[in-house]
Amino acid sequence: MKFVLDASVALLWLIPQTHPKGLAYADSVLSAFQESPAVVPSLFALDIANVVTKLEAKGIGPEADSQRFIA
């Protein structure tokens, strides 16, 4: 069964400190990739890029981490 991956969940893999209570859920979603493929909304990449840009501007997370995450 496919599931829809939301950008807010995926971003927890990059910046878990922003929502520690959601990290267990994000980890379970990552584990679910072994069983089922995910689909993403058409704006997923733009959502990710927008948040990553804002985080870098605030000094949260180094640019190198952001580039690896986006790649």
Residue 4's nearest CA partner among 42, 52, 47 is 42
- φ/ψ of 60, rounded to 5, equals -95, 110
Is the pTM here over 0.85, yes or no?
A: no
pLDDT tens for residues 9-33?
999 988 888 888 999 999 999 898 8
- Total structural domains within the chain: 1
pLDDT tens for residues 27-65?
999 898 888 888 999 999 999 989 988 888 888 877 787
Distance CA 47, CA 51 (A): 6
Give residue 53's domain range: 3-70
